[in-house]
A and B are shown apart, each in its own frame.
Chain A
Amino acid sequence: MNIAVLQFPGSNCDQDAFQLFAGGLGLPTRYVWHKDRALGEADLVVVPGGFSYGDYLRCGAIARFSPVMGAVREYAAAGGLVLGICNGFQILCEAGLLPGALIRNSSLEYRCMTCDLTVEDAGPGFNPRALGGRIRLPIGHGEGNYRIDEAGRARLVAKGQVLLRYAGNPNGSLDDIAGVRNEAGNVFGMMPHPDRAFERFHPSRDGLAVARAVLAARFPGMILKTA
């Protein structure tokens, strides 16, 4: 098992994501620099949170042109697992690897708080049977208001692509959507931070279960250490 965490200029949750997998799950984890054109051996690519390229222009709009994103596209097309957290989710949407877009919170303010989330049935690993019906994860974003057109929305529901919904919408997201996956089931994106919910003093340790659920899409039945 080998986890690759991308680092863009302006990534600031890269160390958090690293610790979730390395410290929380005890998996071999390494960073990949945005100027690299190859990912190397990887079983999961994590696109972490932060403000890549200052989020100037539009969140994730510049990062998607980074050299490493070409490799991520090829990796995903070949069925490789990708998880985007917060800014990573925004980048994956901008890169066309996930459907929809994230715009400014309806409050027009940044929100940092812990949210209750309902777990949807999104396939192996990511479902209420594996995760429980409800989990708690922190959020921290100014642009997490999920939007998608009517046809896209119908497709998300029909294909079971919604991962999580907010119980108490913090940002105006359509249908309370907090995270989605692609149709093939190997690319995941979410605004909430599993990388802020794994230490004993965190608001919850549900981040560990979420990280495992993502890995289970490729590696069912894998037994992982809980720190």
Chain B
Amino acid sequence: MKPAGLSPNPDPVLNQPMTPELVRKHGLLADEYEAVRGHLGRDPTLTELGIFSVMWSEHCSYKNTRPLLKGFPTEKRGATAGFGRVLVKAGEENAGIIDVGDGWAIAFKIESHNHPSAVEPFEGAATGVGGIIRDIFTMGARPVLLTNSLRFGELDSPATRRLLRGVVAGIAHYGNCVGVPTVGGDVYFDRSYEGNPLVNALCLGTLRHDQIRRGKATGLGNPVYYVGAATGRDGLGGAAFASRELSAESAADRPAVQKGDPFMEKLLIEACLEMMAVPGLVVGIQDMGAAGLTCSTCETASRGGAGIEIELDRVPQRETGMNSYEIMLSESQERMLVIVQAGREREIEAVFEKWDLHAARVGSVTDTGRMVVTQHGTIVADIPASALTDGAPVYQREARRPAYLDTTSRWTPGGAGLADLDPAGARSALPRLLSHPTIASKRWIYRQYDHMVQHGTVVLPGSDAAVVRLRLGKGEKFIAISNDCNGRYCYLNPRRGAQIAMVECLRNLVCAGAVPLAMTDNLNFGNPYKPENFYQLRECVAGLAEACRFFDVPVVGGNVSLYNESPEGAIDPTPTVSVVGLIEDEAHITRQFAPAGSRLVLLGGAPSEIGGSQFLGLIHGLKTGDAPDVDLAAEKRLQDFLLGQVRAGRIGAAHDLSEGGLLVALCEMLFGPGSPGAEADLSRLAAPRLDALLFGESQGRVIAAVAPADEAPFIAAAGAAGVPADTIGTVTPGGGLTVATARGAVSWDLAELRLGWEGSIESAMKRPGLG
């Protein structure tokens, strides 16, 4: 078939006949190409092929994951009139929105920029931040905080140091300039991410219910505006690039990485919020993120059940001679598409003139249901808008349980003849764990981020959860946010590992005194066409969905990043979870630093598992065993009890056990202001193995610091709630850490431990990195 009906493109380069080779280069399968022809009733033009290629990529279409994602709950059953209602659900718009009461709401979402960051860490990470901020303010919300979730190989590799330096500098460059505080995050270092780092960025914004905006094109004849930066040739086909495995040739894909301008973004935020504040002016708005002009036009048209006509000659361009393929597929940053109420063009133009930004009328809304693109008077693309969105293919991929699980899940320390620790071994293991970059202080990272701008940060980075005061009109509210995912657990037991990410996030919030509201997730996995990878993906999603339903925490949106592979293989499955919680009363804000004189109570019982632990990895060089057990009901009892005690004013500090186990958690509670010490006695805890007691990562454990007078009622309340509680020691005004065990006592100089913990990443980063 010929592209009948369409005249030749003004640029002769784009008039090539379709060949299997061209189709393959665009990442479309033969069947998918046939579907394209079916939608068009003819061969596509090259411009149209490019448009289908990006819209049907995993990044835009979720074609391999859509059936799985349907398992996530998207509404909160126990929402009250006070807060918790889902106002905009996952998948409906650019970000989900949750009611926080009094007519106010929050919009938040996490998104990945893994592949661009692997190739060009600074720009890749920077534009990841820019993109997620646009997803939030396009909903009508003012961005008020950022967090990020990063994964790298081990820091002993110069290539990893180059990536870490670049990614952190890129996030800092963008977030600092745009004036949104980066208040928290999580960072892991593990060989599986060598060559394929993960960079997931989250943004949260605030808005009134009546300020919610939609990415919908409606109203026949309404003008379509293009606002923000001009279009260049950067980021061509970035969405398609993100849906391929990384290889040695990826460096040649640099033009697929975009370049960010945070100053432009800051102006765009202010101008767009000012424009949206004008009643009735904006009909619909959407950012031009992945797949740029293509995605924003066909998605708004499809959501609105309308059509859109755009004229490329009117698109602001920063390079000359760009053809339709380039303009439609460019992923130049800091651009938005706005549908304005007809007759009010002058009002939007006045706002953008004030901010010295482009606002060009590029087209209008039609009733044809088609996305029609013209250039130099010729139609260069004419596609049913819904074919690009709802018409994208959906696949149920084959899943196969990876063979390695047979070995790892049966592994036990006893069966492997692993000698238990003696006190001398424990003494030397603790400083090694504390100074491993995954556990060590992330100060080197977060001091490069402006985490205080907007003057609302209450609990600074370096705690279980960040706490931020939201100024909402004349009132204020406090929220907590935490990110988590231990890929090692997900590798060893995908279903359970994903649940651990979720319950740990919830535990972090509860330790900060917050009631969990809703979750956003970023599913980072390998190539889904490999059945073992798809098995991991399927199991992780199932585990997450179950935990979400159990805790009544809905998913309000997120992102899927597949093809995270380097020549060495796939990354550990990493379903990053981020949960936002509301702190109902400022007095409930709880910190992790234990005050001197308080009693330390371990909740949840003695840790007894060692599989998948940092200890096993670092001290024994093993990534094996089963992931720690998860008991959702016990976890819920613990969290409900803890929140009750926070409200009763009995908690001086609380911190959960996670990577590194009991002793690491204890140290982290002592590495605060005043540098207190502690005397602990673990000798009466039932523990078959000392290594598992001190460094195992059993879930559902929290150390609470309570005043001596509160100790008895606290323990009695725990008993009544069915939560195991054991007093394990006292916080002393200074000095060291002494721990009595059934096999003898061990003590450490805390100042020395703290030095190793605080300075580890910093000293590693003083060594040269590549490039």
A195 within 8 A of B: yes
| B317 shortest CB reach to chain A, Å | 21
Distance A224 CA – B589 CA, assembled complex (angstroms): 30
B496 within 8 A of A: no
Cβ contacts under 8 Å, B449 to chain A: 110, 112
Q: Is the CB of A51 within 8 A of B263?
A: yes
Q: Residue among B178, B448, B450 with the most chain A CB within 10 A?
A: B450
Contact digits for A1-35, partner B, Cβ 8 Å, 1 yes 0 no: 00000000110110110010000000000000000
Contact digits for B187-227, partner A, Cβ 8 Å, 1 yes 0 no: 00000000000000000000000000000000000000000
Among B450, B451, B469, point to the contact of A201 (Cβ < 8 A): B469
A199 within 8 A of B: yes
Q: Is the CB of A10 within 8 A of B263?
A: yes
Q: Is the CB of B355 within 8 A of A9?
A: yes
- Contacts A51-B266, A201-B458; A140 near B452 (Cβ below 8 A): yes
What residue of chain A has the Cβ atom nearest to residue B467's Cβ? Answer: A201
| B199 shortest CB reach to chain A, Å | 18
Q: Is the CB of A50 within 8 A of B455?
A: no
Cβ contacts under 8 Å, B266 to chain A: 9-10, 12, 51
Distance A111 CA – B337 CA, assembled complex (angstroms): 36
What residue of chain B has the Cβ atom nearest to residue A195's Cβ? Answer: B455
Q: Is the CB of A109 within 8 A of B448?
A: yes
- Contacts A9-B356, A112-B448; A56 near B453 (Cβ below 8 A): no
B172 within 8 A of A: yes
- Contacts A51-B266, A202-B455; A12 near B448 (Cβ below 8 A): no
Cβ contacts under 8 Å, B454 to chain A: 15-16
B745 within 8 A of A: no
Distance A49 CA – B528 CA, assembled complex (angstroms): 47
Distance A201 CA – B264 CA, assembled complex (angstroms): 32
B185 within 8 A of A: no
B111 within 8 A of A: no
A113 within 8 A of B: yes
B262 within 8 A of A: yes
Q: Is the CB of B469 within 8 A of A54?
A: no
Question: Which residues of chain B from 227 to 275 have a CB within 8 Å of any chain A CB?
Answer: 261-264, 266-267
B176 within 8 A of A: yes
Question: Which residues of chain B from 452 to 476 have a CB within 8 Å of any chain A CB?
Answer: 452-455, 458, 469
Distance A211 CA – B254 CA, assembled complex (angstroms): 48
A75 within 8 A of B: no
Q: Is the CB of B448 within 8 A of A50?
A: no
Contact digits for B159-170, partner A, Cβ 8 Å, 1 yes 0 no: 000000000010
- Contacts A10-B266, A53-B263, A199-B469; A112 near B177 (Cβ below 8 A): no
A121 within 8 A of B: no
A138 within 8 A of B: yes
Distance A171 CA – B30 CA, assembled complex (angstroms): 58
Q: Is the CB of B448 within 8 A of A19?
A: no
Distance A49 CA – B452 CA, assembled complex (angstroms): 12
Q: Is the CB of B453 within 8 A of A16?
A: yes
Distance A112 CA – B168 CA, assembled complex (angstroms): 13
Q: Is the CB of A110 within 8 A of B262?
A: no
What residue of chain B has the Cβ atom nearest to residue A24's Cβ? Answer: B455
Distance A55 CA – B695 CA, assembled complex (angstroms): 48
Distance A138 CA – B447 CA, assembled complex (angstroms): 11
Cβ contacts under 8 Å, B451 to chain A: 112
Cβ contacts under 8 Å, B172 to chain A: 109-110
B179 within 8 A of A: yes
Which range holds the interface residue count of chain B? 20 to 34
Cβ contacts under 8 Å, A53 to chain B: 263
Q: Is the CB of A54 within 8 A of B261?
A: yes
Cβ contacts under 8 Å, A110 to chain B: 172, 176, 447-450
Question: Which residues of chain B from 689 to 716 have a CB within 8 Å of any chain A CB?
Answer: none
Q: Is the CB of A10 within 8 A of B267?
A: yes
Distance A196 CA – B456 CA, assembled complex (angstroms): 9
Q: Is the CB of A16 within 8 A of B455?
A: yes
Cβ contacts under 8 Å, A202 to chain B: 455
Question: Which residues of chain A from 92 to 150 have a CB within 8 Å of any chain B CB?
Answer: 109-113, 138, 140, 142
The number of chain A residues with a CB under 8 A from chain B is 29
Distance A49 CA – B169 CA, assembled complex (angstroms): 20
Cβ contacts under 8 Å, B267 to chain A: 9-10
Distance A111 CA – B458 CA, assembled complex (angstroms): 18
Q: Is the CB of A113 within 8 A of B447?
A: yes
Q: Is the CB of B262 within 8 A of A51?
A: yes
A193 within 8 A of B: yes
Among A9, A12, A19, A54, point to the contact of B453 (Cβ < 8 A): A12
Q: Is the CB of A196 within 8 A of B177?
A: no
What residue of chain B has the Cβ atom nearest to residue A11's Cβ? Answer: B179
What residue of chain A has the Cβ atom nearest to residue B178's Cβ? Answer: A12
Q: Is the CB of A111 within 8 A of B447?
A: yes
Distance A199 CA – B264 CA, assembled complex (angstroms): 30
Cβ contacts under 8 Å, A10 to chain B: 177, 263, 266-267
| A226 shortest CB reach to chain B, Å | 17
Distance A56 CA – B446 CA, assembled complex (angstroms): 24
Distance A193 CA – B181 CA, assembled complex (angstroms): 15
Among A13, A111, A195, point to the contact of B448 (Cβ < 8 A): A111
Cβ contacts under 8 Å, B469 to chain A: 199, 201
Cβ contacts under 8 Å, A138 to chain B: 452
Q: Is the CB of B176 within 8 A of A56?
A: no
Cβ contacts under 8 Å, A9 to chain B: 263, 266-267, 355-356
Distance A53 CA – B178 CA, assembled complex (angstroms): 11
Contact digits for A30-52, partner B, Cβ 8 Å, 1 yes 0 no: 00000000000000000001110
Among A15, A49, A54, A193, point to the contact of B263 (Cβ < 8 A): A54
| B75 shortest CB reach to chain A, Å | 33
- Contacts A9-B267, A16-B455, A199-B469; A54 near B355 (Cβ below 8 A): no
Distance A178 CA – B413 CA, assembled complex (angstroms): 56
Cβ contacts under 8 Å, A111 to chain B: 447-448
- Contacts A12-B179, A12-B266, A140-B176; A112 near B452 (Cβ below 8 A): yes
| A58 shortest CB reach to chain B, Å | 14
- Contacts A10-B267, A112-B447; A142 near B176 (Cβ below 8 A): yes
Distance A55 CA – B262 CA, assembled complex (angstroms): 11
Q: Residue among B169, B355, B453, B455 with the most chain A CB within 10 A?
A: B455
Cβ contacts under 8 Å, B453 to chain A: 12-13, 16, 49, 140, 196
Cβ contacts under 8 Å, B179 to chain A: 12-13, 50-51
| A57 shortest CB reach to chain B, Å | 12
Q: Residue among A49, A55, A113, A193 with the most chain B CB within 10 A?
A: A113
Cβ contacts under 8 Å, B458 to chain A: 201
Distance A2 CA – B356 CA, assembled complex (angstroms): 29
Distance A15 CA – B471 CA, assembled complex (angstroms): 11
| A85 shortest CB reach to chain B, Å | 12
Distance A142 CA – B173 CA, assembled complex (angstroms): 10
Cβ contacts under 8 Å, B589 to chain A: 201
Distance A193 CA – B454 CA, assembled complex (angstroms): 12
Cβ contacts under 8 Å, B355 to chain A: 9
| A90 shortest CB reach to chain B, Å | 14
What residue of chain A has the Cβ atom nearest to residue B357's Cβ? Answer: A9
Name 18 interchain pairs, CB-CB below 8 A, sorted by A. Answer: A9-B355, A12-B177, A12-B179, A12-B453, A15-B454, A16-B453, A50-B179, A51-B262, A51-B266, A53-B263, A54-B177, A55-B177, A55-B263, A110-B448, A110-B450, A112-B447, A113-B447, A196-B455
Instruction: Taking A51-B179, A113-B447 as given, write out 14 further A-B residue pairs in contact, using a Cβ cutoff of 8 Å, ordered by the A residue number.
Output: A9-B263, A10-B177, A10-B267, A19-B455, A51-B266, A55-B177, A109-B169, A110-B176, A112-B176, A112-B447, A140-B450, A196-B452, A199-B455, A201-B469
- Rank and list the top 8 A-B pairs by shortest CB-CB distance, nearest first: A12-B179, A54-B263, A51-B177, A201-B458, A140-B450, A16-B455, A196-B452, A110-B448
